Structure 1
Amino acid sequence: MIDILAPVIALDGPSASGKGTVAARVAAALEFHYLDSGALYRLTALAAVRRGVLFDDVEGLTEVARALDASFVEGVILLDGEEATEAIRSEAIGEGASRVAALAPVRDALLARQRAFQRLPGLVADGRDMGSVVFPQAQLKVFLTATAEVRAERRHKQLIAKGEDVTIQKILEDIQQRDARDSARTVAPLVQLPDARLLDTSAMTIDQAVRTVLGWWETVQSSRP
């Protein structure tokens, strides 16, 4: 059951925008719970790959999502009891997650699991439809973005640091394709809601972005009766 008293900060935005890092730091600063909704779709994609379920098999993917044995323990992500923190961050799984997330039955299967994260003292949730579908009652909604070129640059640095051999042009193309797919899908498309505050981090550091969100949260709190 959702605790209706638990406040929610919803951060939505495109792939590689840095919203996960910002959301996690905001949650830590406020001592709130944190939901990385994208991790659930990545875990679904990884579980599907391991079970031999194709990404165009809607029924098979829905069953994978319903039976997903995933848990988050002190920053470690587990799938079927085994650590999957790094495995779900590969480009291939990220691409698969984007395809999986476009399927309405899969999203429905994961909806209750996401809403269960709303517990006191509060929740910071990041994803593509946190403010529009999962937590439409969120007290603060943020649409966090950056230019595709900046996002590709950031992602390239992350992958190079992990020892992966990938060109920035390929990453840029992948990001542009994901943006188009996430924005054009009929189910929970990626959009900036009218009541969401726009945060463009193209020229900002992570610390600056975190301070901005925390400042907005203080404003929201101070304006409540």
Structure 2
Amino acid sequence: MIVTIDGPAGAGKSSAARELARRLDFQFLDTGAMYRAVTLAAQREGIDLADADALLRVAKGCEITATGDQVTLNGQDVTREIRASSVTAATHHAADHQGVRAHLTELQRHAGRHRDIVTEGRDQATVVFRDAECKIYLTASEEVRAERRYIDLVNRGERVSLQDVLDQQRDRDGRDKARPQGGLAKADGAIRVSTDGMSHDEVVAKLMDIVQQCKPTGC
């Protein structure tokens, strides 16, 4: 069974999807981390991220795992490093690159083949797994999402302002929605869940109820 969780940045997708997968005993696939890992690899090589050919070369040369609680890039744990503001601000280069998207889409489909998975991102229900048995669109208000991101960054030791985080989020939302391939959108049949005012446990409990309703008869 495939459970897709799409939605904007800061809606709580990663933490909720990871815990949902744990409770279901499913594999967790963090697709956003894959784009971040490509971006980090390109930054490490010092390439111009606007150089489409160079960026695709880097992407195809990366060995990325983004399942479970750890993200690795060419065998190195980069789980924390890919969440830095410098990576977040530049990830759109990889996300907007059609060749990179096509490459990572195939990797994601391979990861989900013949497995029970919970996968989260922007285009999991609309592009990658259109036939998923359970599609969820997780969202929250702009202010709530920005505050969550701000707290996360501060806890990681970064010096940022809430306004800076909000401005960056608005730019990212605009790019995500305008992207011609894999743009952020609620898939037909996806169940919308707003996490405003909900605790982490309440969100996961809600998602568990939805998955149980979506499970094929006999599962």
- 1:44-123 mapped onto 2 (5 Å cutoff): 44-72=38-66, 75-123=69-117
Conserved in 2, the CA contact under 8 Å of 1:102 and 1:185?
Answer: yes
**Residue 205 of structure 2 corresponds to residue 211 of structure 1:** yes
SS of residue paired to 1:105: helix
Conserved in 1, the CA contact under 8 Å of 2:18 and 2:68?
Answer: no
SS of residue paired to 1:109: helix
Conserved in 2, the CA contact under 8 Å of 1:33 and 1:117?
Answer: no
> Of the candidates 185, 188, 201, which is equivalent to residue 191 of structure 1?
185
TM-score normalized by the length of structure 2: 0.95
Runs of 5+ in structure 1 lacking a partner? 1-6
- Structure-2 separation of matches of 1:182 and 1:74: 25
- Structure-1 separation of matches of 2:83 and 2:164: 16
> Of the candidates 142, 158, 163, which is equivalent to residue 169 of structure 1?
163
**Residue 147 of structure 2 corresponds to residue 153 of structure 1:** yes
Q: Which residue of 1 aligns with 2:172?
A: 178
Deviates further, 26-35 or 186-195: 186-195
Amino acid corresponding to residue 171 of structure 1 in structure 2: V
Amino acid corresponding to residue 93 of structure 1 in structure 2: V
1:57-98 deviations in whole A, cap 9, x for unaligned?
Answer: 111111111111223475222212222111100111012112
- 1:136-147 mapped onto 2 (5 Å cutoff): 136-147=130-141
- Structure-2 separation of matches of 1:132 and 1:20: 18
Conserved in 1, the CA contact under 8 Å of 2:34 and 2:66?
Answer: no
- Structure-1 separation of matches of 2:195 and 2:160: 24
Conserved in 2, the CA contact under 8 Å of 1:129 and 1:188?
Answer: yes
Percent identity at matched positions? 33
List, as ranges, runs of 4+ consecutive aligned residues in structure 1 with deviation greater than 4 Å.
222-225
Amino acid corresponding to residue 16 of structure 1 in structure 2: G
What displacement does 1:111 show? 1.4
What displacement does 1:54 show? 1.5
What displacement does 1:121 show? 4.9
Q: Figure out how many residues of one structure are paired with residues of the other and give that number.
A: 219
- Structure-2 separation of matches of 1:107 and 1:182: 13
- Structure-1 separation of matches of 2:62 and 2:218: 38
Conserved in 1, the CA contact under 8 Å of 2:59 and 2:100?
Answer: yes
Runs of 5+ in structure 2 lacking a partner? none
RMSD: 1.6
Conserved in 2, the CA contact under 8 Å of 1:33 and 1:119?
Answer: no
Q: Which residue of 2 aligns with 1:3?
A: none
